[in-house]
Amino acid sequence: MRTLFFLLQKEFRQILRDRIILAMILIMPTMQLILLPLAANYEVRHIGVSIVDHDRSAASQQLVRKITSTDYFNLVRYTSSYPEAFALIESNQTDVILEIPVGFERGLVRENEQSLFISTNAINGVKANIGAAYLNRIVMDFNADLRTELLSDAKGRVQPLIDVRTIDRFNPHLLYHVFMVPGILALLLTMISVYLSALNIVKEKELGTIEQINVTPITRLQFISGKLIPFWLLGFVTLTIGLLVARFVYGIVPEGNIALIYLFSGVYLTAVLGLGLLISTVAETQQQAMFVAFFFMMIFIMMGGLFTSIESMPQWAQWLTYLNPVRYIIEVMRLVILKGAGFSEIRFHFLVIAGMAILLNSWAVLKYRKMA
Amino acid sequence: MTTKPIISVHGLTKTFGSFTAVDAISFDVAPGEIFGFLGANGAGKTTAMKMLCGLLSPTSGQARVAGFDLSTQTEDVKRRIGYMSQKFSLYEDLTVAENIQFYGGIYGLTLAEIKHKSIALATELGLTLEMNKLVRSLPLGWKQKIAFSVALLHDPAIVFLDEPTGGVDPVTRRQFWDLIYAAAHRGVTLFVTTHYMDEAEYCHRVSIMVDGAIKALDTPHALRKQFGVASMDEVFTLLARGAQRSAD
């Protein structure tokens, strides 16, 4: 215990003297949490649409009005020449072309069937896809309106149409940052912990001070605890700052028990710090440690469910995400902060992360050798 | 030697794959002795010393250090030895006093003992005004003297010094050796590697390693006589010339 006290005292003195580490812990999360949720927005608006209208009928005019009345679309060009519209795609001025064929109105009325042609500029694949999807939805909507109108006129009864209405529970206004903030906070917590712990021991290796430690009677457990505890506590500082930013900048008040967030984060931090320590026992230089940590962080971030939804990944990738600790904390953050989940709902997450914490730290203690 | 040796090495060997870094070395060191451990770069000095400090496990052979078996009682050995590595071993971002407190603390000294030792050390080295300065800001020679004093903090039976005066000016080297003599006078055994042959002359006994084996071991005086030369420098050159390994 005494030994641990001296180890912790030394570690805190060094951390508090290091301005860059302090900035990483205090300022970086604040800035990123204010900046990123506003910038990283998936909602696509102002899609440039060009409409090639070969029909020029009342029905086609009505459709055009319907499309341009939303702020999802900006009408770039209204024309009757497809090559002209296509040139706009080539010069990157329009994202989507909607082609309305000749006889659109007549076909709708007589044959009760009509096709439209949508071409998209797939260079910005996301925007084009979303544009096409929005456009589809508007056309379907238009179609439904028309059917109601026409059919009720002709036969006096309305054909039943299934109307899907979405209610977004737990984020009623579908505000993007409400969804992003807990996720980004989870990522920050992971990044800071993995990097700081990985670099710390390697730095002692590079400086040679680790040799001096290794000739002392310090045990492996004492040494690893001395490295883990300070960063564990600093993780809570980052978490607290993050929750305060969420509360006072974004007005996100956790629906669930805040103690549950801290409890889970405590276990989570132990797990990711264990990973950092494990990296540091393998790497010989800080560059090596950075690259290895970066490799893991890339996978963790890309497959964590924040930027790509896990449900839309191929099955094998979905299985892989079960090994990704970030997946669990992002889910838990969202469940507890947005949905107000209790312990029973995050029990699975809790057990998996506790398992990872035990596994990674035991591995790190075993790998750390005082003797080569 | 009439007293029981404090370091006793028999056939100590370290191989890395097919490379034999240290080849079955054997020697004894008496308590209170200043033992010079010489050899060209790559001769295996540092490897041998790391084994004796418990930083590397020997491939074969036995050694007793400070009364404990090196292979089975490594942690007991560590409590009884001090070590000053080739790389600088104090924390540059801590003050002198904080370094003393840290190393004293992990060797199990009480806060009162640490305080007492800090004052004694500051007086001995004339560093009373520098105690609260960051180690980073001190000149190399001072750092080395502090590092040596820190290695002595827990009153070890033996202190291992791996090229302690590398890159230090001659005046400071002389002062450093005064500290070594003072420690030896108090009964501490000193095990020193060095590349400076004038320092070899200061040692009670000197061993010279060539290609992983000890080629000569005696007092500097006896070695000069044995090889019929006037200085340790010439002894060393005669022996090292036969080396097969290139310097690392």
Q: Which tens digits make up the pLDDT trace of A23-35?
A: 888 888 888 888 8
Query: Looking at residue B206, which CATH number applies to its domain?
Result: 3.40.50.300
pLDDT at residue A172, rounded to an integer? 55
Q: Which residue has the higher pLDDT, B10 or B244?
A: B10
Per-residue pLDDT averaged across A177-183, rounded?
Answer: 82
Question: Is the Cα dihedral B188, B190, B196, B202 positive or negative?
Answer: positive
Residues sharing a CB contact under 8 Å with residue A213, sequence separation 6 or more, in sequence order: A204, A223, B106
Q: Which of B152, B23, B142 is nearest to B92 (CA)?
A: B142
pLDDT at residue B83, rounded to an integer? 92
Q: Which tens digits make up the pLDDT trace of B174-185?
A: 999 999 999 999
Strand partners, B65: B7, B68
pLDDT at residue A161, rounded to an integer? 47
Residues sharing a CB contact under 8 Å with residue A82, sequence separation 6 or more, in sequence order: A52, A97, A99
**What's domain A47-155's superfamily in CATH?**
abc type-2 transporter like domain (3.40.1710.10)
Residues from chain A contacting residue B57 (CB–CB below 8 Å): 371-372
How far apart are alpha carbons A110 and B157 in whole angstroms? 106
- Mean pLDDT, chain B, rounded, equals 89
Position B19 in a domain: no
Strand partners, B217: B207
pLDDT at residue B248, rounded to an integer? 47
Phi, psi of B198 (to 5 degrees): -65, -35
Position B235 in a domain: yes
Q: Is A218 on the interface with B (CB under 8 A)?
A: yes
pLDDT at residue A1, rounded to an integer? 76
| Angstroms from A6 CA to nearest CA on chain B | 6
Pairing of strands A73-79, B189-193: unpaired
Under the banding of pLDDT at 50, 70 and 90, the label for residue B207 is very high
Position B6 in a domain: no
CB contact under 8 A, A209 and B89: yes
Q: Is A81 on the interface with B (CB under 8 A)?
A: no
Q: What is the ipTM of this complex?
A: 0.85
pLDDT at residue A329, rounded to an integer? 94
For A50, the token pair is 């060009």
For B86, the token pair is 């080739």
How far apart are alpha carbons A43 and A136 in whole angstroms? 17
CB contact under 8 A, B85 and A17: no
Number of domains in chain B: 1
Q: Which tens digits make up the pLDDT trace of B29-68?
A: 999 999 999 988 888 898 999 999 988 999 999 999 999 9
Q: Is A14 on the interface with B (CB under 8 A)?
A: yes
| Beta-sheet strand order (sheet of B34-39) | B81-84, B158-162, B189-193, B34-39, B205-210, B213-218
The answer, yes or no, to whether residue A221 has pLDDT greater than 60, is yes
| Angstroms from A3 CA to nearest CA on chain B | 5
Residues from chain A contacting residue B75 (CB–CB below 8 Å): 217
Q: What share of chain A is helix, strand, coil (3-state, %, to 5)?
A: 70, 5, 25
| Structural domain that includes position B224 | 31-54+80-240
CB contact under 8 A, B94 and A14: yes
Position B203 in a domain: yes
Position B14 in a domain: no
What are the extents of the domains in chain A?
A: 2-40+175-367, 47-155
CB contact under 8 A, A371 and B57: yes
Q: Chain A residue with minimal CA distance to B55? A: A371
Position B2 in a domain: no
pLDDT at residue A153, rounded to an integer? 53
What DSSP character marks residue A2?
H
